[in-house]
Structure 1
Amino acid sequence: MLNGVGFIIILVCVFGSFLISGGKMEIILHALPHEMMAIAGAALGAFIVSNSMDTVKKAGKGMGHAFKGPYWKEQDYRDLLALLFGLLTTFRKGGATAIEPHLDTPEQSSLFSRYPRLLGDHHLIVFICDYLRMMTVNFEDPNQLAEAMENDIDRHHAEELEPQSALQTMADGLPAIGIVAAVLGVIKTMGSIDQPTDVLGAMIGGALVGTFLGVLLSYCVVGPMAAKLKQIIEAEAKPYGIVKTAIIAHANGISTPVAIEIARRMAPSIYAPSFSQLETALEEVSNELTATA
């Protein structure tokens, strides 16, 4: 929704100022199809040449993700902390035997199934299960566990940023591609140098549409979308830090409620549940665990 509002403002202000100042849209509209074909085609071709097919596919999904916004909402952070509390409490009370069935098939787990939106984040669920499983095989040094988790987070984050970086590179190159389209228009104009002045003026104006489109697409469309995607990727890396904090605190022997409270402070401030909200959520989980024990 917000993206749409932004693009409407761009179009209204850019073309509105052009019309108010006496510009003629006929020239732009006449040149737009072939100039756009040259710019979009060259940009897309270069994008495919310079990236793997996996990155190209992820970039396409990333543009859609940038329009939809972050997957994680306020309730999801509360649910994640409640899930971690349930898992760590089960682990502390029953050991590896009690928690392994939840880790082997999280889709069928009574702990995980309470939070279907969290199950929708496949990578995070795998991350949680893998490192809790590590703890079941006596991973004795919490510092080594913390380092392994940090390296895993960094690797995953770098992979998620690859399509964003590719889109930003495309945005950086679009002004130059616009110049290529403009030069082709100038070549066409020079081939018609014997035409009347008004015809040549329209042809030169049409050629300059290429430069205009390249700059507009770069700084007002692809660049902002790449920046938005980076913000979303950065935001969606936060849950991994929360998981890491809770598990390492547990591995250091800190009580489960305190470990979850420490993890709560890793949540983004606009989404972090209050102390009382988290306390209520954890009490509900505790009661359910007691009832099913």
Structure 2
Amino acid sequence: MIGMIGIVTIFAMVFGGYLLAGGKMAIILKSLPFEMIIIGGAAAGAFLISNDSSAVKHTLKDIGKVFKGPKWNPQDYSDLLCLLFALIRIAKQNPIEVEHHIEDPSNSAIFSRYPKIQADEEAINLICDTMRSASMNYDDPHQVEEVLDKRMDATLQHALHPSHALQTVADGLPALGIVAAVLGVIKTMGSIDQPPEVLGKLIGGALVGTFLGVFLAYGLVGPFASKVKTVVEEDSHFYFLIREVLIANLHNHSAAMCIEVGRQNTPAHIRPKYAELEEALKAVKQDAA
């Protein structure tokens, strides 16, 4: 919703201010389709040249994040801590039993309590792979921590690629606007024998290209890239929470301490409150009993 409000605000302020200043939309509207073909088409072509098919699909999909926002909400973080608490508790009490859950999470009664988390492949793989490493009796938990850090850095960089791709397009749009403007000037020079009123409209149409390139770059595509990056980084806290809790478990802390470590390392605006989380963990204990 806030993304749509931002787009409406941009158009209202830019074109509203132009009209209030006495500007006329006729020249812009007449030139807009042709300038958009040149600038938008060139930008789309450059985007396709600089990215492979999977990156193109990933970027187009991630544009929706501008309007949807982060995937994970505070309740999801609370559910994640409850899920990890249940798994760690079982692993400490009965290591054999926890293997059934981490080897087949799609049919696990514990994972099934949290369908949103269960449906996220990255979260499930991160939990199961790390707990599987713990079951292999690693002598040095720092080895697992190092592997996790490299894996999560690689995953984050991959997730940030769409924002980089969009930002590259945004960086190129002003130059493509100049290309369209130069073509408009060339067209104008071909009609140099026309009267001033005709030349004025042709020059105005050419300048629409410069305007459109800058407007798209800094008013739409650039902010889209920034928003996608913000949402990806926000969602990454969910996976870093998994890391914090499971690394604490590798250091042989109690299940409750592992969860508290994760809770305190969660950003304040999405951090579950201590009292509410305690109630949720009590419910987990009762279900296990």
- Scaled to the shorter chain, the TM-score interval is over 0.9
Number of the residue aligned with 1:106: 105
State the distance in 2 between where 1:235 and 1:146 align: 21
Q: What's the CA shift string for 1:95-153, capped at 9, x where partnerless?
A: 1x111111122121111111111123211111111111111121221111111111111
What TM-score, normalized to structure 2?
0.98
Number of the residue aligned with 2:196: 197
Matched, 1:59 2:59: yes
What TM-score, normalized to structure 1?
0.97
User: What's the CA shift for 1:91?
Assistant: 0.6
Number of the residue aligned with 2:167: 168
Number of the residue aligned with 1:282: 281
Which one-letter code corresponds to 1:35 in the other structure? E
Q: Which runs of 5+ in 1 are unaligned?
A: none
Number of the residue aligned with 2:256: 257
Number of the residue aligned with 1:31: 31
Number of the residue aligned with 1:3: 3
Q: What's the CA shift string for 1:224-280, capped at 9, x where partnerless?
A: 010000011111111121111111111111111011001001222111111111111
Number of the residue aligned with 1:225: 224
SS of 1:270's partner is helix
Q: What's the CA shift string for 1:162-202, capped at 9, x where partnerless?
A: 12111111111110011111111111111111111111101
Number of the residue aligned with 1:177: 176
Number of the residue aligned with 2:72: 72
State the distance in 1 between where 2:48 and 2:149 align: 32
State the distance in 1 between where 2:139 and 2:164 align: 38
State the distance in 1 between where 2:138 and 2:166 align: 40
SS of 2:63's partner is helix
Number of the residue aligned with 2:22: 22
Residue correspondence of structure 1 range 118-157 to structure 2 within 5 A: 118-157=117-156
Which one-letter code corresponds to 1:263 in the other structure? G
Number of the residue aligned with 1:209: 208
Which one-letter code corresponds to 1:34 in the other structure? F
User: What's the CA shift for 1:66?
Assistant: 2.1
SS of 1:139's partner is coil
Check the 8 A contact 1:238/1:266 in 2, yes or no: no
Pick which of 215-224 and 103-112 moved more: 103-112
User: What's the CA shift for 1:65?
Assistant: 1.9
Percent identity of equivalent pairs: 47
State the distance in 2 between where 1:244 and 1:22 align: 58
State the distance in 2 between where 1:85 and 1:250 align: 10
Residue correspondence of structure 1 range 234-245 to structure 2 within 5 A: 234-245=233-244
Over the aligned positions, Cα root-mean-square deviation in angstroms equals 0.9
SS of 1:100's partner is helix
Q: What's the CA shift string for 1:26-52, capped at 9, x where partnerless?
A: 000000001001111000000110111
Q: Which runs of 5+ in 2 are unaligned?
A: none
Number of the residue aligned with 2:92: 92
Structure 1 runs (4+) deviating above 4 angstroms are: none
SS of 2:72's partner is coil
State the distance in 1 between where 2:53 and 2:180 align: 26
Number of the residue aligned with 2:82: 82
State the distance in 2 between where 1:19 and 1:275 align: 54
State the distance in 1 between where 2:138 and 2:206 align: 66
SS of 2:138's partner is coil
SS of 1:233's partner is helix
Which one-letter code corresponds to 2:186 in the other structure? I
State the distance in 2 between where 1:66 and 1:107 align: 30
Matched, 1:45 2:45: yes
State the distance in 1 between where 2:16 and 2:239 align: 45
Pick which of 60-69 and 227-236 moved more: 60-69
User: What's the CA shift for 1:85?
Assistant: 0.2
State the distance in 1 between where 2:52 and 2:75 align: 36
